[in-house]
A and B are shown apart, each in its own frame.
Chain A
Amino acid sequence: MNRRFLSGLMIAFLPVAMALIGAVMMQTRLETRLMKDAETRLHAELDSYAALYDQRRIIAVRQAMEFRATTGETGDTGALFMLLDRQGEVLAGNLDSWPNDLTRPAEGEAPVVMPLALEKDGQDMTHLVAAQPLRGGFAMLVGVGLAPLNDTMAAFRRIVLGFAALMAAAGLLVAWAMSYRAERQMLALNRALDDIGRTRGLEQRLAGQEGEGRGEFATLRAHINAMLDRIAHLFAAHGRLGDTVAHEMRTPLARIQSQLEKLDIDAAARAGLDDEIRATIRLFDSLLSIAAMDAEAGSSAGLDPLDLSAVCEGIVNLYQPVAEEEDRHLEAAILPDAMILGDGQLLAQMVSNLVENGIKYTRPGDMVRVSLSDAGDQVVLRVSDTGPGVEGDVGETLLRPFARGAGTEAKPGHGLGLSLVRAIALRHGAVLRLPETGVGFAVEITFRRYAP
């Protein structure tokens, strides 16, 4: 049973249940009322026979019953009547014998009134009967048939159940249609938001659905679009701020650098100052890049299908001679043709940072290994080394900007390499882990494969 049918059933259940409770209450009231009518008719019969007995004695009652029995005049209600003498012999009536279930009341006792099931003329019928003693030891039985009452109640139940079934079906249909529409709108909304988040970027807005009108979904869409406007505005302001900060900081540095040339200082001192400026710019670029990529994390806007294997191989080839000069073994085990959605420059920078860290924080003779392996619809990039690793349980704090491992203060750097790697991984929707290693240090990044 699908979800939409269940939600339709739940929506339809309440009104149908309420209608059924109302119908049961009506049925009880109607049944009570009809039973009262039957009792009234029964008492009218009793009263008329009692009046006849009082005025003209037993003979008149007997003649009246015989006449009704002979003519079959019992009305359309299946009336019963019977007269017994002192010995219990039947004097008149339309029954063969006094019913076993009915106690014959003694003279002076109150009449006995009760419903009674009898077989009459080959049919099982229910009656409301009254047994009344008459003066002189006679007894009289009078009954009215309950068949019309039962027929009316049965017809009422049929009508109520029929309507309940119709109401349930109609409710289910309406609820199903409503939930189908709501679910379709929700699906379209989710798809559109996913599209905005992952692919098309913040310049896109939610478009209205056909026939959506001006309901709650239209209001929700308007609210989401207003929020997207605000986010896009903040995002653009963030980008402008980054560009402005970049411009305002780089331009004066460029002036300083050009003035340096005019200073009468030795070449080594100037080269040192140039290196300082370059390092400052690199630090500043890394911070701006981390902020920009954090803002774009998970969005595929600006990313293209590319071969991560080729990026890894390119960086390994670039650093191979450096590793050899530094007496490190740079090894690669790269799965071919691993296509992902990415930015080639950022990914190259990520792999380059990891390999550089591997070379920088290991000892001569150590190994740095770059592997790219298959994991179903994912590919796992792992850069590991056999160096001294990181002291203490620093875990993921190493991924924060300016965090550095204990004992690495003497090495050049600002502690931004790994946080830039983390930001680039997040920008690509990849998951970065620092797995436990027996020896050395490892970083593992899991990318989703590109499926065209």
Chain B
Amino acid sequence: MAEKERILIVEDDRDMGAVFRAACAELGYEPVLMTSYTDAIKAAPLSRYAMAILDRLLPDGDGIDAIAELKRAGTIPAILVVSALAHAGHRVDGLERGADDYLPKPFAPEELRARIKALVRRGRAQATDNDFLVFGDLEIRIRARTVHFRQEFIPVSPKEFELLMYFATNAGVAVTRMQLLEHVWNLHFDPQTNVVDVHVGRLRRKLEGATGLAFIRTERGAGYLFDPNGGQAE
């Protein structure tokens, strides 16, 4: 039986630790839980991990200060900071200091799972010179920033192209509205309106209109999922 990949969890709150462990186990990973900054730095070089989940307010320091040391070990390709320090300034600071993603507490379990999946996928991704992302007959031309279906050009706006690119690079993985806001619009606050839904809805309608297939699906409670095979349009 193949050994499970590990995810390093650094969280001092017992209940939250259990939530992270459960999410990792559910996704098929072996959770390794550390409850302090110092223990996390000691644990980092001892194994290879798919990613790490890092809390900030730890008993012996701010987890964000550990990011550089954890990455220096070379065993953790991606770090998700999950913290109660959650306003835009905290998030931007976390991302600037090396976090690959920043999830504010509290979070929906679906959102946690979506972010873990997206980060593990990103950690595994190899650098590629490919100019195309191809999903069946749907072709995304990265350099030209155009979208085609069976050689037919589908007109999309620059922002819609960025949105589609984010979906495509996370194909098969649910992405949340906050992930889209952060990665496509670089906005780290939660607007009150359904602004993301409107943009996704427009892109979805364009793709469905041109292909007759539903590449983007709504995942209840989580957000959206890009189906690489294109499901049946409603």
- B:84-137 near A, CB below 8 Å: 84-89, 92, 104-109
Is A257 in contact with B108, judged by CB distance below 8 angstroms?
Answer: yes
Known: A246-B86, A267-B220. A345 touches B189 (CB 8 A): yes
Chain B residue nearest to A285 (CB atoms) is B87
What is the predominant secondary structure among interface residues of chain A facing chain B?
A: helix
- A:256-285 near B, CB below 8 Å: 256-258, 261, 267, 270-271, 274, 277-278, 281-282, 285
Chain B residue nearest to A255 (CB atoms) is B15
Is A243 in contact with B57, judged by CB distance below 8 angstroms?
Answer: yes
Known: A246-B85, A247-B85. A319 touches B195 (CB 8 A): yes
Question: Is B232 interfacial (CB 8 A cutoff)?
Answer: no
Is A318 in contact with B19, judged by CB distance below 8 angstroms?
Answer: no
Question: Is A233 interfacial (CB 8 A cutoff)?
Answer: no
Is B202 in contact with A349, judged by CB distance below 8 angstroms?
Answer: no
Question: Is A126 interfacial (CB 8 A cutoff)?
Answer: no
Question: Is A359 interfacial (CB 8 A cutoff)?
Answer: yes
Within the assembled complex, what's the spacing in Å between the Cα atoms of A253 and B109? 12
Question: Is A289 interfacial (CB 8 A cutoff)?
Answer: yes
Q: Which of A247, A258, A278 contacts B19 (CB 8 A)?
A: A258
Contacts of A257 in B (CB 8 A): 106-109
Is A254 in contact with B87, judged by CB distance below 8 angstroms?
Answer: no
Q: Which of A254, A282, A343, A412 contacts B105 (CB 8 A)?
A: A254
Is B221 in contact with A271, judged by CB distance below 8 angstroms?
Answer: yes
Known: A243-B85, A247-B85. A348 touches B187 (CB 8 A): yes
Shortest Cβ distance from residue A227 to the other chain B in the assembled complex, whole angstroms: 26
Q: Which residues in B have some Cβ–Cβ distance to A below 8 Å? A: 13, 15-16, 19, 22, 57, 84-89, 92, 104-109, 159, 185, 187-195, 198-199, 202, 220-221
Contacts of A348 in B (CB 8 A): 187, 189
Within the assembled complex, what's the spacing in Å between the Cα atoms of A278 and B190? 9
Contacts of B187 in A (CB 8 A): 318, 345, 348-349, 352
Contacts of A250 in B (CB 8 A): 84, 86, 104-106
- A:311-362 near B, CB below 8 Å: 314, 317-319, 321-322, 325, 343, 345-346, 348-349, 352, 356, 359-360
Within the assembled complex, what's the spacing in Å between the Cα atoms of A257 and B86? 16
Shortest Cβ distance from residue B126 to the other chain A in the assembled complex, whole angstroms: 32
Q: Which of A254, A349, A359 contacts B193 (CB 8 A)?
A: A359
- A:49-78 near B, CB below 8 Å: none
Question: Is A388 interfacial (CB 8 A cutoff)?
Answer: no
Q: Which residues in A have some Cβ–Cβ distance to B below 8 Å? A: 243, 246-251, 253-258, 261, 267, 270-271, 274, 277-278, 281-282, 285, 288-289, 292, 302, 314, 317-319, 321-322, 325, 343, 345-346, 348-349, 352, 356, 359-360, 412-413, 417
Shortest Cβ distance from residue A276 to the other chain B in the assembled complex, whole angstroms: 11
Shortest Cβ distance from residue A287 to the other chain B in the assembled complex, whole angstroms: 11
Is B109 in contact with A247, judged by CB distance below 8 angstroms?
Answer: no
Is B198 in contact with A254, judged by CB distance below 8 angstroms?
Answer: no
21 pairs from A and B in contact (CB 8 Å cutoff): A246-B84, A250-B84, A251-B13, A251-B105, A251-B106, A257-B106, A267-B220, A267-B221, A271-B221, A282-B190, A285-B87, A288-B87, A317-B159, A318-B185, A343-B89, A345-B89, A345-B188, A348-B187, A356-B192, A356-B193, A417-B192
Contacts of B16 in A (CB 8 A): 251, 254-255
Contacts of B57 in A (CB 8 A): 243, 247
Within the assembled complex, what's the spacing in Å between the Cα atoms of A343 and B189? 13
Within the assembled complex, what's the spacing in Å between the Cα atoms of A251 and B107? 10
Within the assembled complex, what's the spacing in Å between the Cα atoms of A378 and B153? 45
Task: A281-B106, A318-B187 given; name 8 further pairs at CB < 8 Å.
Answer: A250-B106, A251-B105, A253-B106, A254-B84, A274-B221, A292-B87, A321-B198, A356-B192
Contacts of B159 in A (CB 8 A): 317
Contacts of B220 in A (CB 8 A): 267, 271
Contacts of A270 in B (CB 8 A): 221
Within the assembled complex, what's the spacing in Å between the Cα atoms of A417 and B189? 13
Instruction: Give the most central of B85, B106, B159, B194: most A CB within 10 Å.
Output: B106
Q: What 5 pairs across the A-B complex have the smallest Cβ distances?
A: A254-B106, A250-B84, A345-B88, A253-B106, A247-B84
Shortest Cβ distance from residue A57 to the other chain B in the assembled complex, whole angstroms: 122
Known: A322-B194, A349-B189, A356-B191. A253 touches B105 (CB 8 A): yes
Contacts of B89 in A (CB 8 A): 302, 343, 345-346
Is A345 in contact with B92, judged by CB distance below 8 angstroms?
Answer: yes
Within the assembled complex, what's the spacing in Å between the Cα atoms of A254 and B190? 17
Q: Which of B106, B185, B194, B198 contacts A314 (CB 8 A)?
A: B185
Shortest Cβ distance from residue A427 to the other chain B in the assembled complex, whole angstroms: 11
Within the assembled complex, what's the spacing in Å between the Cα atoms of A282 and B199? 22
Contacts of B92 in A (CB 8 A): 345
